């Protein structure tokens, strides 16, 4: 069984910062890409950033320069440092990871339960 658990969300004022963490645990053989997505009320879920196992990163346009994704492969953890937050960044943030478990023969896209980020104006 594989599980992803996010943490670090909360309430912050405009211009503030937050750091989200997501830990993958369970019967993990290997992890490929890890990423962050977000979903605001009444909107579709959108990609925030993704990072490969080798550290290559990609960001959605509006997040470039403000958000930084990183990972610690030894800890099976992905981070999202969010700076200069705006009210429009308010959303539930989800992490995902492509994981090959010890029992599985295919890569599976696992998701966390989400963590709320609220930016007040």
Closest CA to 89 of 35, 22, 14, 8: 14
Q: Classify burial at 6, counting beta carbons within 10 Å of its beta carbon; exposed 0-12, middle 13-18, buried 19 or more.
A: buried
Task: Note whether 100 and 30 are within 8 A (CB).
Answer: yes
Quick one: pLDDT at residue 38? 98
What pLDDT does 61 receive? 83
pLDDT at 63: 86
pLDDT at 69: 98
Q: What is the pLDDT along the chain (121 residues), one digit of tens a residue?
A: 899 999 999 999 999 999 999 999 999 999 999 999 999 999 999 999 999 999 999 999 888 899 999 999 999 999 999 999 999 999 999 999 999 998 888 999 999 999 999 999 9
In this prediction, residue 105 carries a pLDDT of 83
pLDDT value for 1: 87
Beta bridge mates, 38? 46, 93
């Amino acid at each position: 069984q594989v599980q992803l658990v996010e943490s670090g969300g909360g309430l912050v004022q405009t211009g503030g910062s937050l750091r989200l963490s997501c830990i993958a645990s369970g019967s993990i053989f290997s992890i490929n890409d890890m990423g962050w997505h977000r979903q605001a009320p009444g909107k579709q879920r959108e990609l925030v950033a993704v990072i490969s196992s080798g550290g290559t990163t990609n960001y959605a346009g509006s997040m470039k320069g403000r958000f930084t994704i990183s990972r610690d492969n030894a800890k099976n953890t992905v981070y999202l440092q969010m700076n200069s937050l705006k009210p429009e960044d308010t959303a539930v943030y989800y992490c995902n990871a492509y994981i090959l478990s010890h029992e599985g023969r295919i890569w599976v896209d696992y998701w966390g339960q989400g963590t709320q980020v609220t930016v007040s104006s």
